[in-house]
Chain A
Amino acid sequence: MSISLTPALALQGVSKLYANGTLANDNVSMEIAAGEIHAVIGENGAGKSTLMKLLYGLEQPSSGRILLHGRACVLRDPRQAIAAGIGLVPQHLQLVPSLTVAQNVVLGCEPTRGLGQLLHGRAAVQAVSTAAQRFGFQLDPHAVVGDLSVGARQRVEILKTLYRGARIVMLDEPSAVLSEQEASALFASLRRMAEQGLTVLLITHKIREIRSACDRFTVLRGGCVAGGGNAQDFSDAAIGAMIVGRTLSAASAATPARRPPGQNAGALVGAHGLTAKRADGRVVLSGVSFEIGAGEILGVAGVEGNGQDVLAHVLCGLRAPSQGHADIDGAVFTSRGVRRARAGGVAAIPEDRLHDGVAPAMSIIDNAMAVQYHQAPLSRRGWLDPAAMQGFARGIMARCRVAAAAPEALIGTLSGGNMQKIVLGREIASAPRFLIASQPTRGVDIGAAQALHEQLRALRDTGAAILLISADLDELLALSDRIMVMSQGEIVAHFPARQVDPGVLGGYMTGALHAAGAAALLASPFTASHAQAHHEEQA
């Protein structure tokens, strides 16, 4: 690893304050030497993607400087960033499926001959093969990108940046879509790139990668730098603590009464071996089994993209699992479509409120009745009853204390918190026995979030089972009776909520701890009775 005196890339006091008041980056300073593989690590919302946008010219810093090879530079758009030698491999690959590897790599700056329009195909192929060999990529320039695996496609993206003369290559969550082997192959390639003097910036949330792939790292937490240093000098647990390191907030410290394990009647909802595959064959859910008792909240922790959204879709009926099933009181409700699942007592709060949870251009009444409109009293034999619809909407609004508007107002005019209250109120009004809540308080102000938590607890008290999927650890710790951690489509850890340390939880979420801390695991199937037994064991 070559050490030059002037860092290839340096940030000095960089902050980014968005127009809506969000301080995404707060006085971030870091230095990255040439030929170094540097990881920027942190949870979702810690400011990693904002930092990357600043470095690629997609955003401008509100204050601070960015220095390239010691010289301050202003990057107004990606073209300037590319000209300055910065390349970005985005998380969602930007490739044209019907073109070949060579064509994709040179897209936008194709070598031409003749009158300047005829593609010089051979030159492109030549350039791509040379670059691929130089960095050890196994790529056939003539292969059509649409047929390649994800790992190969990612390498095409990397080649794209290299072809445009990038000396600093940023990769955004590269291993999020890769399998273990593909990830190792990727890191080997990155190492070869670094050996040739290139600087690599890895944006990630996976701790394991840091020590295996990187030289140095910086931890971002809440927009600020929370730590950093040489990868060798820190243990996985220490890094995990830096990432997650929070004290239990006051709200969750004063834990409201949770049902003690002994009072559960037994499993109400059971998931058995749920498996799901993506269109390209990649497994996104792998043998997920768990049980939830009546009146119990099971929290699902895990960094996004590890299968939680697929699990939610399978359980609410939007998607059929390729294997396995789930049931309530023995009655199977998966693989039957959404309406049958709902008829069986399942309700769901979707993750993307504006896209899947409401129809923003329709009224509150129309949104409130979306789940039960085909049943009395909202409609009889196909005829809607406007008075009943209005009363229904008013009822929900009153129960959720949304006083902001008339029921005829468009729901899109409400604040995020009020919208979510209506969404939850609507689901609760269908008297579900099982509620799947995905990111229920995302984008919601604190007051509304507390009201939503109260509603969830009230629902639990009626004897329903709740699956709470959340990226907010405070929320999980405050509401859940038990917490399970998902990673790569599997359940990797499972604790009673009262006994979990946030640092340990974070460790499992970010992959630092992986089936190593056996004492933290409860035996499968992860049932309430087992939780009780474990609790008694520990006591």
Chain B
Amino acid sequence: MSEPTAQALIAQQQRRQILQQRWRLPLAILASLAVGFAMTAMVSKEPLRAFLTLLTGALPRLQWSPEEGWRLLRMVRFGAVIEDAVTLTFLGLAVALPFRARQFSLGADGQMFLAALAAAAVSLYVPGPAVVVLPLVFVAACATGFAWGALPGVLKTRYQANEIVTTLMLNLIAIQFYRLLVSGCLRDPGAGFLVTPLLPDRLILPLLLDKTNVTVMLLLAPLVVGLAWLLLMRTTWGYEIRLVGQAPAFARQAGVPVERAVWLSMACGGFFAAFAGVHISNALLKRLPVDLTPGLGYEGLVVALLARNEPRAIPFAAFMYAYLRTGAQAMERTTDVSREVVLVIQALMILLVVSERLLPRLAEAWRSLVLLRRGAP
């Protein structure tokens, strides 16, 4: 019986690791969906129908009728999926970029709020044709997001302030500032509740799908994703960010400006969050309410994690997330299961994906079980 050499063992271990890496996400998705199903089974009288609605509820329905031929129904629902996916794509990029430099920036919420504010302010108060003002809207929003992202970055590099705490605090400040302005100088005096005036028609992004809020942002989203990818993979800045995230000591030794890479990654994150802000103000809501719910930024975090911080995978993760969320809303409307079950599914997905040793441990346990069976005749 030949003893496996050390080299062969190492190679076998490496192969196993690669296999496990590839299977972790799909298995995590399956496992969390299974738990979600178990949960619906516990509370619902028709769990199968409920769960099926969760998985298919967001889809538009193709219907044939002799008068009108093929029609796509339920586009409003699917439109909601697309809108959500677009917002989450931008927010996912906002979290993924700092993550590549190993920075836990949770500031996407605040950056988005301030950027939305800037976009609305420019839309409301800067006169001129759309051709001139709309780009200004984007510029104002992106500059705001960039600055609000750079701030915790600088605090980290100059004062070693933990970026989790600083971004959380800056989120709180940003949201309060937003509420201050919306209920103060940006307030629409004619409206019955605290909200900005309706943004001028010419500055609302044109629709792509009737009766939905799917706008040209849908076309902009892949461009922005492409921009993020280009930034990360084809520019010196992106290279620095990646290197600092992977091997900070080596980066320092090679002369890479580590501090700049750190705050730049966070600032670029804010830049991308700004697009979500513009999307919310000029496409989705068309006016900013004071009670805009914070928390979307953390969903961007989930998307980034599921996409393993890879820009090109983020739209897909965002779409899946939005798809499940809308499916859950459909499920809630038509069955007796509430839509929060999808939050539980997503939380479990994250936990399973980041529990790095879980799969190897299970695999080992499985192998020893098999060996045991084989050993005992």
Q: Quick one: which of B234, B243, B257 contacts A362, CB cutoff 8 A?
A: B243
B253 touches A356 (CB 8 A): yes
With A359-B247, A362-B247 known as contacts, the answer to whether A348 contacts B239 (CB < 8 A) is no
Task: Please tell me the number of chain A residues within 8 Å of chain B, measured between CB atoms.
Answer: 33
Within 8 A of A (CB), among B237-287: 237, 239, 242-243, 246-247, 249-257
Stretch in A84-92, A377-385, A468-476, A526-534 with 4+ CB within 8 Å of B: A377-385
Decide if A117 is an interface residue (CB 8 Å cutoff): no
In whole angstroms, how far apart are the Cα atoms of A537 and B222 in the complex? 76
Bound together, the chains give a CA A237 to CA B40 distance in angstroms of: 82
A383 B255 Cβ-Cβ under 8 A: no
Judge whether B250 and A355 touch: CB under 8 Å: yes
Q: How far is the CB of A389 from chain B (nearest CB, A)?
A: 9
How far, in whole Å, are A358 and B249 apart by their CA atoms in the complex? Answer: 9
Pick the contact of B254: A20, A338, A382, A386 (CB < 8 A): A338
CB-defined contacts of A386 to chain B, threshold 8 Å: 234
Q: Mark B317-348, 1 if CB is under 8 A from A, else 0.
A: 00000000000000000000000000000000
B-facing mask of A356-372, CB < 8 A → 1, else 0? 11111110001001110
When C-beta atoms are compared, the residue in chain B nearest to A339 turns out to be B255
Q: How far is the CB of B10 from chain A (nearest CB, A)?
A: 10
> B6 on the interface (CB 8 Å rule)?
yes
* Residue in chain A with minimal CB distance to B9: A19
**CA–CA, A359 to B246, complex, Å?**
6
- Which residues on the B side are within 8 Å of A339 (C-beta)? 255, 257
Chain A contacts of B243 at CB under 8 A?
359, 362, 366, 370
Q: Chain A residues near B254 (CB, 8 Å)?
A: 338, 370-371
B250 surroundings in chain A (CB, below 8 A): 355-359, 370
Q: A366-B243, A384-B234 are in contact. Are A355 and B249 (CB under 8 A)?
A: yes
| C-alpha spacing A358/B257, complex, angstroms | 16
CA distance A339 to B253 in the complex (A): 9
B235 interface contact, C-beta 8 A: yes
Contacts of B235 in A (CB 8 A): 379, 382-384
Nearest-Cβ distance from residue B5 to partner chain A, whole angstroms: 10
Query: Is A256 in the interface zone, CB < 8 Å from B?
Result: no
Inter-chain CA distance A379–B236, complex, in Å, is 7
Q: Looking at B234, B247, B253, B256, which has the most chain A CB atoms within 10 Å of its CB?
A: B253
Q: Which residues of A contact B253 (CB under 8 A)?
A: 316, 318, 338, 348, 350, 356-357
Given contacts A382-B236, A386-B234, contact A371 B255 (CB under 8 A): yes
B247 touches A317 (CB 8 A): no
Cβ-based interface call for A21 (8 A):
yes
User: Please, which residues of chain B bring their CB within 8 A of the CB of A187?
Assistant: none
Q: Which of A370-419 contact B (CB under 8 A)?
A: 370-371, 373-374, 379, 382-384, 386, 413
Whether a CB of chain B sits under 8 angstroms from the CB of A167 is: no
B6 touches A21 (CB 8 A): yes
The number of chain B residues with a CB under 8 A from chain A is 21
Is A342 an interface residue, CB under 8 A from the partner? Answer: yes
A373 touches B6 (CB 8 A): no
B239 touches A384 (CB 8 A): yes
Contacts between the two chains (Cβ within 8 Å), count? 70
A366 touches B255 (CB 8 A): no
- Across the interface, do A382 and B237 meet the contact criterion of CB distance under 8 Å? yes
- State in angstroms the CA–CA spacing of A20 and B233 once bound together: 38
> Using a CB-CB cutoff of 8 Å, which residues 321-361 of chain A contact chain B?
337-339, 341-342, 348, 350, 355-361
In this complex, what residue of A is CB-closest to B233?
A: A384
Given contacts A370-B256, A371-B254, A371-B255, whether A361 and B249 have CB atoms under 8 Å apart is: no
- A337 to B234, alpha carbons, bound, how many Å? 26
B-chain residues with CB within 8 Å of residue A373 when the two chains form the complex: 236, 239
Q: Tell me if A366 and B239 are in contact (CB < 8 A).
A: yes
Name the distance in Å between B141's Cβ and chain A's nearest Cβ: 23
Q: List residues of chain B with CB within 8 A of the CB of A355.
A: 247, 249-250
Cβ-neighbour of A384 out of B6, B236, B247, B249 (below 8 A): B236
Contact with B236, one of A337, A358, A359, A374 (Cβ below 8 angstroms)? A374
Task: Find the B residue at minimum CB distance from A389.
Answer: B239
When distances are taken between beta carbons in the complex, the residues of chain B under 8 Å from A357 are 250, 253
Closest chain B CB from A249 CB (angstroms): 27
A362 with B242: CB separation less than 8 A: yes
Whether B246 lies near A19 (C-beta < 8 A) is no
Chain A residue numbers with a CB within 8 Å of B237 are 382
Q: Which chain B residues lie closer than 8 Å to A19 at the CB level?
A: 6
Chain A min CB distance to B102 (Å): 12
B249 proximity list for chain A (CB < 8 A)? 355-356
A361 neighbours in B (Cβ, 8 Å): 246-247
In this complex, what residue of B is CB-closest to A426? B254
Shortest CB-to-CB span from B250 to chain A, Å, is 5
| Chain A residues with CB under 8 A of B242 | 362, 366
Q: Which residue from chain A places its CB closest to the CB of B237 in the assembled complex?
A: A382
Closest B residue to A362 using CB positions: B246
Task: Give A1 to B13 CA distance when docked, in angstroms.
Answer: 54
Q: How far is the CA of A316 from the CA of B250 in the complex (A)?
A: 13
* Interface residue ranges of A491-520 to B (CB < 8 Å): none
Residues of A within 8 A of B257 (CB): 339
For the complex, what is the distance from the CA of A359 to the CA of B255, rounded to whole Å? Answer: 14
How many angstroms from the CA of A361 to the CA of B242 in the assembled complex?
11
CB A247 to nearest CB in B, in angstroms, measures 32
Q: Which residues of B contact A366 (CB under 8 A)?
A: 239, 242-243
Chain A residues with CB below 8 A from B236, complex form: 373-374, 379, 382-384
Return the chain B residue nearest A427 by Cβ: B254
Complex Cα distance, B234 from A384, in Å, reads 5
Whether A360 lies near B247 (C-beta < 8 A) is: yes
Contact B246 A338 (CB under 8 A): no
| Cα–Cα, bound, A135→B239 (Å) | 58
Which A-B residue pairs are the 3 nearest by beta carbons? A359-B247, A338-B255, A339-B255
25 contacts between A and B (CB under 8 A): A20-B6, A21-B6, A318-B253, A337-B255, A338-B252, A339-B255, A339-B257, A355-B247, A355-B249, A356-B249, A358-B247, A359-B243, A359-B246, A359-B247, A359-B251, A360-B247, A361-B246, A361-B247, A369-B239, A370-B251, A379-B235, A384-B234, A384-B235, A384-B236, A386-B234
Other 11 A-B pairs with CB < 8 A, given A317-B255, A362-B247, A370-B250: A338-B254, A342-B255, A350-B253, A356-B250, A356-B253, A359-B250, A361-B247, A366-B243, A370-B251, A373-B236, A384-B239
